[in-house]
Structure 1
Amino acid sequence: MRKYDDDNDQKTNKERWLLTYSDMITLLMIFFILLYTISSVNSTKFLQVATSLNKTFEGTNYVIGQYSGNSIINSIQSNNNENNIEIKLNEFIKQNNLQNMVTYKIDERGLVISLNDALLFDTGSADIKPEQKTTLMRIGNMLKTMPNYIRVEGYTDDVPINNDKFHSNWELSVIRATNVVKILVDDVNMDPKKISVVGYGEYRPIVPNDNDKNRQLNRRVDIVIMNTDYNKWEPNK
């Protein structure tokens, strides 16, 4: 009985090489499949990747397969432009003692320059004061070289208006913003395709209209240098 077991053990030991051989064959098959896969790279997709990386570093958009988007470099350049404008604006405001008339901030839309209505307009009027035309032109020249879209927004307080020229605060806010744009386009030669006008009237106050000081803050024209992320929403590009 023992001899029979020994014979089986010897037979098993002699056949173990088959396991090793099969493992080796399997590994070789996987190896050659990998080689074949590498040698069959889709040249079109590879070219897209290479081109997209190049464009990204040049500051344009990227396209990889079915995906696309804005270049990271564009955003960095946009932020640098905003920082440069901030420095120039700050110097301009200080040099001309306009701290109470011109302010700026950066929000999710971009750089927002707020011009108090008392700087530009008489009460109830949309005509820009002749002596402040130069102020607007100097601000416009700072913005002229920026590639961003620009939106000029008009705001009023909640005091009703109803005269021969304007029947509502909406009309007053729109015409004021439009007159600012006319100077930016006609006198500063800014690209009209990149500028839009919005009038919010009394309906977007930044503070409650509960006293004269707050109402004065709400009466303003904002020049918004739009973040490049908003470019995709602009029509007829």
Structure 2
Amino acid sequence: MKRRGEEGEKQNHERWLITYSDLITLLLIFFIVMYTLSKIDANKYHAIAASLSKSMGGSQSILDNGGPSIVPGVGEAKELEAGLEKAEQESMERIKKQIEEYVNQQGLAGKVTVTIEERGVVVSFQDVVLFPLGSDALNNFSREIVDTVGAILHQTPNYIRVEGHTDNLPIRTGRFPSNWELSLARSATVVHRLIQFSSIPPDRLSATGYGEYRPRMPNDTDANRQQNRRVDIIVLRTKFQEVEPEAIIKSMSIPMDKKE
């Protein structure tokens, strides 16, 4: 009986080790979480917040207005981010104004539109402004237009996307088997011009062809089809640059001869 009592008493004395080990584990987890929060990436935080807000159908994320942060640095990062967004908005408004002034001077109002959308500044050219029907060749006047707009766009560090669009009238030539090829060829022509004569770095540019599949208007009248035949130059907001692939070798460039 005495031996059994001694063994029971010994076991009771060692039970505190279990509680102690649990406490140490919880403290370790706590400090890991706190360290992770202190290293939070403000850009990723904003992207996650915006994504959650959009998926929940809200116009503004609750994470952006959750009161002062208890995590050191997060509040300052959000203030810096807000300041950068404001500066970017002002830059885009300045670009829009400069291009609109040029468009009005050239009498191109109605054929060239400049708008600020969620994705950025969109400069939209009706195809007759830049290209003859069914062609991807710039003439002297259209080259001057692209060069002037390119000089304005050169001041921004943002990514620039050039999009080609057509109507739904089929095209089948030796050079352009379909509207896909025509729309892409036109956007590529504009991109090459921006690189050659506006000195915009190639790694900030991309060319896309949508063919007839991103119409502005129904392709049921000549006037509507004219609206759909266009080339758009988009200055992307910084938040949309996160989905753009980054170059592994930043020093790569595309050598080109400056030829007409």
Q: How high is the TM-score relative to the length of structure 1?
A: 0.71
Residue aligning to 2:168:
158
Write the deviation string for residues 28-59 of structure 1: whole angstroms up to 9, x where unpaired. Answer: xxxxxxxxxxxxxxxx97xx79xx9xxxxxxx
Are 1:227 and 2:227 counterparts?
Answer: no
Residue aligning to 1:180:
190
Instruction: Point out where structure 1 has 5 or more consecutive residues left out of the alignment.
Output: 1-43, 53-63
* One-letter amino acid of the counterpart of residue 149, structure 1: Y
CA contact (8 A) 2:131 2:142 kept: no
* One-letter amino acid of the counterpart of residue 86, structure 2: I
* One-letter amino acid of the counterpart of residue 182, structure 1: H
Instruction: Point out where structure 2 has 5 or more consecutive residues left out of the alignment.
Output: 1-33, 43-70, 248-260
Write the deviation string for residues 82-136 of structure 1: whole angstroms up to 9, x where unpaired. Answer: 1111211121111110002210111111110001100111111111122210111
Tell me, in whole angstroms, the C-alpha distance in 1 between the residues paired with 2:93 and 2:73.
34
Q: Which contiguous aligned blocks of 4+ residues in structure 1 show a shift greater than 4 angstroms?
A: 64-70
Are 1:218 and 2:228 counterparts?
Answer: yes
Q: 1:228 to 1:162 in 2, by over 3 A?
A: same
Write the deviation string for residues 215-236 of structure 1: whole angstroms up to 9, x where unpaired. Answer: 0100000000001111211112
Q: How far apart are 1:162 and its partner, in Å?
A: 0.2
Are 1:204 and 2:214 counterparts?
Answer: yes
Are 1:193 and 2:203 counterparts?
Answer: yes
Aligned with 2:113: secondary structure? strand
* One-letter amino acid of the counterpart of residue 214, structure 2: R
Tell me, in whole angstroms, the C-alpha distance in 1 between the residues paired with 2:173 and 2:94.
42
Tell me, in whole angstroms, the C-alpha distance in 2 between the residues paired with 1:236 and 1:122.
35
Q: 1:65 to 1:196 in 2, by over 3 A?
A: farther
Residue aligning to 2:99:
89
* One-letter amino acid of the counterpart of residue 175, structure 2: K
Residue aligning to 1:98:
108
Aligned with 1:201: secondary structure? coil
> Structure 1 or 2: larger strand share?
1
Residue aligning to 2:67:
none
CA contact (8 A) 2:130 2:138 kept: yes
* One-letter amino acid of the counterpart of residue 198, structure 1: T
CA contact (8 A) 2:96 2:116 kept: no
Write the deviation string for residues 50-72 of structure 1: whole angstroms up to 9, x where unpaired. Answer: xx9xxxxxxxxxxx679787822
Aligned with 2:242: secondary structure? helix
Tell me, in whole angstroms, the C-alpha distance in 1 between the residues paired with 2:165 and 2:158.
22
Residue aligning to 1:35:
none
Tell me, in whole angstroms, the C-alpha distance in 2 between the residues paired with 1:204 and 1:77.
31
Are 1:127 and 2:166 counterparts?
Answer: no
* Identity value in percent: 37
Q: How high is the TM-score relative to the length of structure 2?
A: 0.65
Aligned with 1:182: secondary structure? helix
Matched length: 179
Tell me, in whole angstroms, the C-alpha distance in 2 between the residues paired with 1:199 and 1:153.
6
Question: CA RMSD of the aligned region, Å?
Answer: 2.3
Tell me, in whole angstroms, the C-alpha distance in 1 between the residues paired with 2:246 and 2:72.
25
Q: 2:157 aligns with which of 147, 151, 154?
A: 147
Larger CA Rg, structure 1 vs 2? 1
